[in-house]
Amino acid sequence: MKPTHKLLFVLCSMLVLGFMYYSSGKLHLFVWGQKSQTNAEFTTTSTTTSTYTTTRTATTKRPDVKPIAARDKHITEMENDINAGRIVDSVYDKQGFLLQLDIKLPPELMYKYGNLSEGACKPGYAAAKMSTIYPKFVKPAPMFLDRNFKRLGKVNNYLPPFGFKTQERVIDGILMETKYYGLGDKLDSLTCKRCIIVGNGGILANKSLGSKIDGYDVVVRLNEAPVSGYSKDVGTKTTMRITYPEGAIQKPENYEKGSLFVFSAFKPLDFKWLRHMVFKEKLRGVEGFWKSVAHAVPREASEMRILNPYFIQEAAFQFIGLPFNNGVMGKGNIPTLGTVAITMALHNCDEVAVAGFGYDMSMPHAPLHYYETVKMSAIKESWTHNISKEKEFLRKLVKANVITDLTRGI
């Protein structure tokens, strides 16, 4: 061989050998990488609390109790799913709720709650449950507007009912007068609050739930639903009554002492009405309301609050999935007050219960409200609400045990 040929031969062999070594290393690294990833998943099963854990649990049924071979097969299938980006689509519904709702809490919370004495209030329970089925949930959202309300970024760009845009000055004036923005010292200082939202449904009648309802720390009632004369079924305690002008109690003697008058605005005109109520001004001209409104609210300004409009926005667009309509009120995109109250409670209560919710359309002769003789059949197709879509959302909450439905109407 000529020296040049010799050199070429050596160079070629080195290149071939080098390439073989390189590619085998790659191959080895690749296989090893896959394996170690799989192992890591097993060892972190009990400590990860991220959405990943819930996602995985939802697609594979507890792989750690299966035989090794089946386990590996499952993992491989799952990894293929993740790689194909299919997981997210198949596990969550359009609103972002997990399709499989019977998901357990993260182990550390199970442990924490398991250690509490029987029947004790579980701190953070409703929000934790909500987060397991709806990972987008962010808990902090104040119940009521305070003097810093303009900092609430999610609502200051929307008109009522989804925000307070154009009403800033009126609201500022009202809040300067009311001066208080919480539930009161006693309730605000509780480390664990149990709340119940009492709906107005006929399903509450004759169930003798009154004393059970009174046992909650916070009892929320809606609009003009009476207590007097119905206390055996609905209780006597009212922490707050959430109301809009057309729904407010009209007879001054029917307002219960010691409860907060919580105002929820659905249209800009509603804030004007509230200003009159707070400043005890005579109401002149009531055009623009869809039915007669109260002319006076026998409450001190210090007993009045403005509900954070974020709960209307979040319930409508995120939880229920009503038409966005450029963020303004339109056909079928306003949640009912009951669902708004539940949304508020998810952000501000540790445990949430409801009673008197749900209509059973298969019983047209059952009463619509617990305090009236109007029949269910009187309910008309609503322009503003979408009862069936709303019920789908409430069903998810009940099914996942985020809320407890005492009357089982949802």
Ligand X SMILES: *[C@@H]1O[C@H](CO)[C@@H](O)[C@H](O)[C@H]1NC(C)=O
d(CA 375, CA 176): 43
Residue among 176 and 374 whose Cβ is closer to ligand X: 374
Is there binding between residue 386 and ligand X (CB under 6 A)?
Answer: yes
Q: Report the residue number whose CB is nearest to ligand X.
A: 332
Residue among 93 and 168 whose Cβ is closer to ligand X: 93
Q: Given candidates 206, 211, 228, 377, which one binds ligand X under the rule CB under 6 A?
A: 206
Q: Given candidates 202, 235, 335, 356, which one binds ligand X under the rule CB under 6 A?
A: 202
Residue 302-331 contact track with ligand X, rule CB under 6 A, x = bound? -----------------------------x
Scanning residues 5 to 34, which ones bind ligand X (CB under 6 A)? none
What own/partner pairs with CB < 8 Å and gap ≥ 24 does 267-274 have? 267/160, 267/161, 267/329, 268/159, 268/160, 268/166, 268/167, 270/160, 270/244, 270/245, 271/160, 271/164, 271/167, 271/170, 271/171, 271/174, 272/170, 273/245, 274/174, 274/245, 274/304, 274/306
| Contact region with ligand X (CB under 6 A), list: 199-207, 287-295, 296-304, 306-314 | 199-207
Is there binding between residue 205 and ligand X (CB under 6 A)?
Answer: yes
Scanning residues 98 to 117, which ones bind ligand X (CB under 6 A)? 112, 115
Q: How far is the CB of 89 from ligand X (least distance, A)?
A: 20
Residue among 115 and 189 whose Cβ is closer to ligand X: 115
Lookup result for tokens 């006597």: 236
For residues 357, 360, 361, 364, the Cα torsion angle rounded to the nearest 10 degrees is -110
The torsion angles phi and psi of 194, rounded to 5 degrees, stand at: -105, 130
| Contact region with ligand X (CB under 6 A), list: 66-74, 179-187, 202-210, 304-312 | 202-210
Is there binding between residue 199 and ligand X (CB under 6 A)?
Answer: no
Residue among 3 and 119 whose Cβ is closer to ligand X: 119
Task: Please provide the size of the chain in residues.
Answer: 410
Is there binding between residue 74 and ligand X (CB under 6 A)?
Answer: no
d(CA 365, CA 373): 10
Residue among 331 and 408 whose Cβ is closer to ligand X: 331
CA proximity to 356, closest of 130, 204, 140, 157? 204
Q: Given candidates 154, 165, 295, 389, which one binds ligand X under the rule CB under 6 A?
A: 389
Residue among 182 and 332 whose Cβ is closer to ligand X: 332
Our CA angle for 286, 288, 293, nearest 5°, is: 45
- Size of the residue set binding ligand X (CB under 6 A): 10
The terminus-to-terminus CA distance of the chain in angstroms comes to 92
Q: How far is the CB of 124 from ligand X (least distance, A)?
A: 14
Q: What are the CA-CA distances from residue 341 to residues 167, 314, 338 (Å)? A: 22, 12, 5
Is there binding between residue 332 and ligand X (CB under 6 A)?
Answer: yes
DSSP codes, 255-272: SPTT-EEEE--SSHHHHH
Q: How far is the CB of 64 from ligand X (least distance, A)?
A: 23
HSE of 275, CA atoms in CB hemisphere, 13 A: 15
The torsion angles phi and psi of 242, rounded to 5 degrees, stand at: -95, 135
Q: Given candidates 349, 367, 393, 400, which one binds ligand X under the rule CB under 6 A?
A: 367
184: left (phi over 0), alpha (psi -120 to 50) or beta: left
Is there binding between residue 276 and ligand X (CB under 6 A)?
Answer: no
β strands within 206-350, DSSP E: 218-222, 240-243, 260-263, 304-306
Residue among 27 and 379 whose Cβ is closer to ligand X: 379
Is there binding between residue 131 and ligand X (CB under 6 A)?
Answer: no
Residue among 25 and 323 whose Cβ is closer to ligand X: 323
CA proximity to 303, closest of 259, 336, 346? 259
Is there binding between residue 208 and ligand X (CB under 6 A)?
Answer: no
Are 228 and 254 in contact by the 8 Å Cβ rule? The answer is yes
| Contact region with ligand X (CB under 6 A), list: 31-39, 201-209, 217-225, 271-279 | 201-209
Interface positions with ligand X (CB under 6 A): 112, 115, 202, 205-206, 331-332, 367, 386, 389
